[in-house]
Structure 1
Amino acid sequence: MQLTLAFTNPANRDRLMFFKERKTLESILDAPDPVSLVAPLRAKLKQSALAPGVLAQEPEYFIDMQKQFYLLPVLSGEEVMTEAGFRTRILNVASVSKADAVTAAAAQQAQSGASPGQAQAAANATSQLKEFSAAVVFVIDSTISMDPYIERTREAISKVYAQIAKENLGRQVKFGLVAFRSSTQAVPGLEYVTKMYADPNTVKDGADFLAKAADLKQAKVSSKSFNEDSYAGVMQAIDKVDWSPFGARYVVLITDAGALDGDDKLSGTGLNAEQVRIEASNPGVAIYTLHLKTAAGAKDHAKAEAQYQALSTYTGTNTSLYYPVDAGDLDAFGSKVDALASAITGQVKAAYMGDDAIGSAMNSKAAPAEQKMLDDAALIGHAMRLAYLGEKTGAQAPPVFQAWIADRDPIKQNVPTTDVRVLLTKSQLSDLSDVLKKILDAANEGLISPSEMFERLRSVAATMGTDPNQLKQDGTAKLSELGVLGEYLDDLPYHSEVLNLDEETWKSWDGLAQEKFIRTLSTKLRHYQVYNADVDRWVPLAEGSDARDNVYPVPLEMMP
């Protein structure tokens, strides 16, 4: 099992620097004013390929690991506290990217920022961005009470399409529409769980969109619970829309209800907010949520807000795209939909015209209530363009070397520079799923009789080759000491709730805490099934290698 890193999108931070020696990096993190040490290095890198103590820096554009696979294995690491008070990991990494001599030379020139290449690169980027396009799929709750919001969304899209036609941007901006309700097995009268009314790939223009969306009306009957299957609606948009023709990819979720959790028997996906967000990050989709906080859902607001905050954190920049609409006010909702649709269209126009879209968005005047949304939209749009240019220019990780990096930006220390992935083969993922299922079965037994859980786990440990007589019998033996998951989790640089659980802690939890533990493991187990079935994202580590040796880059947060 191999740990590897993936670069985050550099839209809201400077490019990651690879240092030759650990002490150079440590001196920056320990400095009261890290800018004074970093700024001269950045200036040197802009002038030439070399800066003292720096081996390389990450590419200017974002590299999508799914399309341009690279290995950045972690050789060792240590968590430290910076002078500014942030927990940061100092990591010794190896960069292993497939780069022939020509590509490597081009990459090195691009990284150097040397002035002749810089001018050409800027010209190339402007040219590439003329083909930059956006798809915005509205995913709207169509249950009882939603008609006014459905109509107002149609109105907003109609206005934007009129503007698009006026500016001749019809090829660059497309809108789609998905509606969702809840389980039709529980309430057949709901007619559907999700329904695609308009696919952005097939919509010709505004009139065509409105014709396709004309039949969308709220349900005639109530759902079984107040929560609706929002995640099913979002997953329909993620899975059923071909996002590949578009550089900017957005889902706008509109609902007045909370979402059915993955373990709810009415859920159509079996996934929670975090898993849906991870699925959206694979095609690079940003999820906006407009949460209508109507009086009818007052008891549900806090839980729903937590769900949608988790769902709408855009992984690329760690930006929350959750926007509440207090009291479900229709005018406030309309202003937000208008502002968002116009902002996204404006960014595509700016890219097409060769303008600085992030600057033009920041300088645009908006009502204070919408300003945060516009600022966020500008940042996400910038991240989408970096990803698009990375794909078009074939941006690659630096060629083979060993170096020291920090997993947070040395200046903006709350911004991560990398995400951790765990590379698992099919057999490892299968074994991990089997062990997790046994832990779940034991935990379910433990709900009835707390001591039964760890008795079951001792039996599991014995079948896996651990001598049960060697294990502590006094209630303080942690799951890690049972050896049940050790080979998967022991060396991972994070705190595992599962490994640190012991019998005394389990017994001290009330029923709700135990059930939450079980629900978390259950949703992860269901997500492993999604990974297993996802043929497109299994990666060969060597050309012509046996398919059984292909690996899946599992996000660290999805490990138990």
Structure 2
Amino acid sequence: MNQFLIIFCLFILSGHSIRAADRSVSNLATKPLLMAGKRNLYQRVLTLPNAKLYPHQKLSKDDPIEIPPFSPYYVYQRVNDNAQQEWLQIGLGRKGDIVGWISSDKTLEWNHGLTLSFRKPASGKDRVLLFRDKESIKEIAETYDQQRYEQLYSAATKGKSIKDSPVAAIQPLKDIDIRKHFYLLPIHDYEEIYLKDSTARLLKVSSVSLEASKQKNSDTLKKGANTLSKANIVFVIDSTLSMGPYIQRTQEAVRKIYDSLNQQSLLGKVQFGLIAFRDNPKAAPQIDYLTRRYVSLKQGKNAASFMKSVESLKPALFSSKDFVEDSYAGVLSALNVMDWDPDSARFIVLITDAGARGEDDPLASTGIDATGLNYAAQKKNTAIFVLHLLTDDPMADHELATRQYRQLSQYPNIGSLYYAVPTGDVHEFGQVLDSLAGQITRQITQSDHVQNTQLQVSKNPQLAGLQAKIEKLGHALGMRYLTNSDNEKAPDVFNAWLLDRTFQNPEKPAVDVRVLLTRDQLSDLYSVLKKVLEIAEQGMISPNTFLGELKSLAATITRDPNQLGGTTATTSGRGISLSELGFVREYIEGLPYTGEVMNLSLQDWQSWSVSQQTAFLQRLEEKIAYYQALHDHVDLWISLTGGAMDGDSVFPVPLDMLP
């Protein structure tokens, strides 16, 4: 019987995606690969269970990093190694956020967001059969061979094996509510056919079932505790000639944090360390040292010992050889020589106004580049922030330095923890440093149930973006110490073909079509659709533009929800929609299903009566209300990493509830 059943279970995974990348920042692909025959749609994949990420496109001495299943990535390169194994270079975003390489057999093609859920069986004869190949199910469907279908169906339900049976599995007899027990049936291919007198679709899906992994501290997890309990923060400061004001301001920021912790009786929960770096003394002997640890984390448990240890830190009296420093040496020193607490979340804050010496620089001491150093940090569960001071020195190559530091500060499923301080403004630098350290400390106080104030989101867009990432980062690092994946079992994954209509009653759907969205994407959808509808109701756009906006929005949801907000004229800031660019048709070509609005033409709209148009607008308003309710119903959202619900948690939204 087991060979015929697909068993879907709620899964709570404790693996965490960690980012690595290709070896050279300068050689990174700038755009993902396009889908075949498309001008504006890029290749994407979902990771399978037990997928591993490598820094290179081959197995190497570097330990791989496990990635949570169903993590979406863009594909930047496809390369075959000497064994003709295909490797994919993957990234989180569409603008060069490379994370590393993965074997293609550990991925699923994910060129749209459509997935299926089984309907509750109404009788004993309408469970869905999954076939091993398209030809077998197509022949039975097109000839409407009821006898053959009944034979295969009966054998599958009884768990009997028929010689050369094309059936791979059957829908479980017991109803599995996808809202309570999440499973995934992503659609990869389809073909329209006739089933008796009705139009039907053959769908190629991947079936993935996962068993719940056992976890430590399950009671704690059920309460949703995923905040930080302790933190180690190590400042890696450029101590060359120009850095005096920033060293002083860093001391001031640390003093403020100590005062805050002391007031809440939490001294010792956050420990600070400090490493200074300059440049290779071989190039400029007068600069004295390459790296030096001024404050260990043990010394940084309280303000007095930190300030006493850092008293002797002064900027160099002489300039280095050029306007690049060996900042990678400072970060590597922090990773390797600092006395990290194994039970604390780890943060490095790199502060510099200069670019870094790359691996090919003869004066570089590490022989490592940004991506290799990022990989080393992720292996040690350490997040790297970079505060890059864009001073006005004519010798500075800030463009190159920005690329280096954005790559160095990448963090899995969050993005780059990089902040560019315009003109090196000391005041703004101080604000960012206060916000960064203060926000981490605030998360510590939350875990200790200390009453604290609401996070004040900055009016500075760049700082507000960093604050949002820090909030996510706190959840991610907090969960790292609450879970265990030792007992996780490898799931069953296979491809199969099925009919989207009930064989005995072709008028009746056998499955529901859904779009997998994150909670943040649903929030974006709510905001965009609400704004488009408000503008339309105010008469500020023509019916043609209104329909174009809706079609742009609907096409984006099903193809690439990450672009929400950037493909409609009312929200993109460019005044041009996907429809006006002529890409809507490209987006919907190849999709087995589309929402209501995609089949609506201007002629249809104009031919409708006022009551019909009003009813359509009311349906859109009902969908907006549904998005709000779904967003607020926290129990429905599924964390793919086993943590508490956050903006990256997912829910398969029914297609008929989308525009």
TM-score by length of 2: 0.46
Question: SS of 1:107's equivalent?
Answer: coil
Alignment of 1:280-291 (within 5 A): 280-291=377-388
Distance 1:255 1:297, change over 3 A: farther
What CA distance in whole angstroms lies between the structure 2 residues aligned with 1:12 and 1:39?
26
The reply to whether residue 44 of structure 1 matches residue 177 of structure 2 is yes
Tell me how far 1:94 sits from its aligned partner: 11
User: Residue deviations 1:242-267, cap 9 Å, x none?
Assistant: 33434321000000000001111111
Kindly provide the amino acid, as one letter, of the partner of residue 377 in structure 1: I
The answer on whether the counterparts of 1:256 and 1:291 sit within 8 Å (CA) in structure 2 is yes
Aligned match of 1:384: 477
- My pick for the range that moved more, 189-198 or 366-375, is 366-375
Question: SS of 1:44's equivalent?
Answer: coil
User: Residue deviations 1:484-537, cap 9 Å, x none?
Assistant: xxxxxxxxxxxxxxxxxxxxxxxxxxxxxxxxxxxxxxxxxxxxxxxxxxxxxx
User: Residue deviations 1:283-342, cap 9 Å, x none?
Assistant: 11111000000001564010100110110111x224111100000011011100111110
Aligned match of 2:222: 122
Which of 305, 321, 341 matches 2:437?
A: 341
Which of 354, 375, 380 matches 2:468?
A: 375
Alignment of 1:193-342 (within 5 A): 193-297=290-394, 299-314=396-411, 316-342=412-438
Alignment of 1:131-530 (within 5 A): 132-297=229-394, 299-314=396-411, 316-353=412-449, 363-369=455-461, 370-390=463-483, 394-396=484-486, 398-403=488-493, 410-411=516-517
Question: SS of 2:259's equivalent?
Answer: helix
Percent pairwise identity: 32
What CA distance in whole angstroms lies between the structure 1 residues aligned with 2:399 and 2:112?
39
Q: What stretches of structure 2 of length at least 5 have no aligned partner?
A: 1-49, 54-64, 73-104, 121-171, 191-204, 496-514, 522-659
Tell me how far 1:168 sits from its aligned partner: 1.2
Distance 1:93 1:260, change over 3 A: farther
Tell me how far 1:201 sits from its aligned partner: 3.0
What CA distance in whole angstroms lies between the structure 2 residues aligned with 1:9 and 1:377?
20
Question: SS of 2:272's equivalent?
Answer: strand
Tell me how far 1:350 sits from its aligned partner: 1.0
Alignment of 1:10-49 (within 5 A): 30=112, 34=115, 37=117, 44=177, 47=180
What CA distance in whole angstroms lies between the structure 1 residues aligned with 2:494 and 2:266?
45
Distance 1:165 1:10, change over 3 A: farther
Q: What stretches of structure 1 of length at least 5 have no aligned partner?
A: 14-21, 55-77, 82-89, 96-103, 112-116, 416-560
Kindly provide the amino acid, as one letter, of the partner of residue 256 in structure 2: K
Distance 1:136 1:12, change over 3 A: farther
Question: SS of 2:213's equivalent?
Answer: helix
Tell me how far 1:210 sits from its aligned partner: 0.7
Which protein shows a greater Rg? 2
What CA distance in whole angstroms lies between the structure 2 residues aligned with 1:211 and 1:235?
24
Aligned match of 1:442: none
What CA distance in whole angstroms lies between the structure 2 residues aligned with 1:38 and 1:160?
53
The answer on whether the counterparts of 1:10 and 1:317 sit within 8 Å (CA) in structure 2 is no
User: Residue deviations 1:340-372, cap 9 Å, x none?
Assistant: 1100100111122189x9xx86x5343334211
Greater RCO (Cα-Cα under 8 Å, separation 6 or more): 1
Kindly provide the amino acid, as one letter, of the partner of residue 403 in structure 1: V
Kindly provide the amino acid, as one letter, of the partner of residue 325 in structure 1: V
User: Residue deviations 1:362-387, cap 9 Å, x none?
Assistant: x5343334211211110111110121
Distance 1:201 1:298, change over 3 A: same
What CA distance in whole angstroms lies between the structure 1 residues aligned with 2:314 and 2:70?
39
Tell me how far 1:29 sits from its aligned partner: 6.1
The answer on whether the counterparts of 1:12 and 1:379 sit within 8 Å (CA) in structure 2 is no
Distance 1:165 1:282, change over 3 A: same
What CA distance in whole angstroms lies between the structure 2 residues aligned with 1:266 and 1:404?
52
**Structure 1 stretches of at least 4 aligned residues deviating more than 6 Å after TM superposition:** 9-13, 38-43, 78-81, 90-95, 117-120
Question: SS of 2:517's equivalent?
Answer: coil
Tell me how far 1:187 sits from its aligned partner: 1.6
Tell me how far 1:12 sits from its aligned partner: 9.7
Tell me how far 1:222 sits from its aligned partner: 1.1
The answer on whether the counterparts of 1:9 and 1:317 sit within 8 Å (CA) in structure 2 is no
- CA RMSD of superposed structures (Å): 4.3
Aligned match of 2:213: 107
Question: SS of 1:289's equivalent?
Answer: strand
Kindly provide the amino acid, as one letter, of the partner of residue 364 in structure 1: Q
Tell me how far 1:221 sits from its aligned partner: 1.2
The answer on whether the counterparts of 1:9 and 1:383 sit within 8 Å (CA) in structure 2 is no
The answer on whether the counterparts of 1:253 and 1:289 sit within 8 Å (CA) in structure 2 is yes
Tell me how far 1:191 sits from its aligned partner: 1.1
Kindly provide the amino acid, as one letter, of the partner of residue 395 in structure 1: S
Kindly provide the amino acid, as one letter, of the partner of residue 230 in structure 1: S
Question: SS of 1:389's equivalent?
Answer: coil
The answer on whether the counterparts of 2:51 and 2:68 sit within 8 Å (CA) in structure 1 is no
Q: How many residues align?
A: 340
Distance 1:29 1:156, change over 3 A: same
Aligned match of 1:488: none
Tell me how far 1:237 sits from its aligned partner: 0.5
Kindly provide the amino acid, as one letter, of the partner of residue 181 in structure 1: R
What CA distance in whole angstroms lies between the structure 1 residues aligned with 2:309 and 2:406?
31
Question: SS of 2:393's equivalent?
Answer: helix
User: Residue deviations 1:459-478, cap 9 Å, x none?
Assistant: xxxxxxxxxxxxxxxxxxxx
What CA distance in whole angstroms lies between the structure 2 residues aligned with 1:400 and 1:193?
47
The answer on whether the counterparts of 2:390 and 2:398 sit within 8 Å (CA) in structure 1 is yes
Tell me how far 1:185 sits from its aligned partner: 1.7
The answer on whether the counterparts of 2:323 and 2:395 sit within 8 Å (CA) in structure 1 is no
Kindly provide the amino acid, as one letter, of the partner of residue 459 in structure 2: A
Kindly provide the amino acid, as one letter, of the partner of residue 326 in structure 1: P
What CA distance in whole angstroms lies between the structure 2 residues aligned with 1:401 and 1:237?
39
Distance 1:11 1:186, change over 3 A: farther
Question: SS of 1:304's equivalent?
Answer: helix
User: Residue deviations 1:210-239, cap 9 Å, x none?
Assistant: 111111110011111210000000001011
Kindly provide the amino acid, as one letter, of the partner of residue 222 in structure 1: S
Kindly provide the amino acid, as one letter, of the partner of residue 404 in structure 2: Q
Kindly provide the amino acid, as one letter, of the partner of residue 321 in structure 1: L
Higher helix share: 1
Distance 1:167 1:375, change over 3 A: same
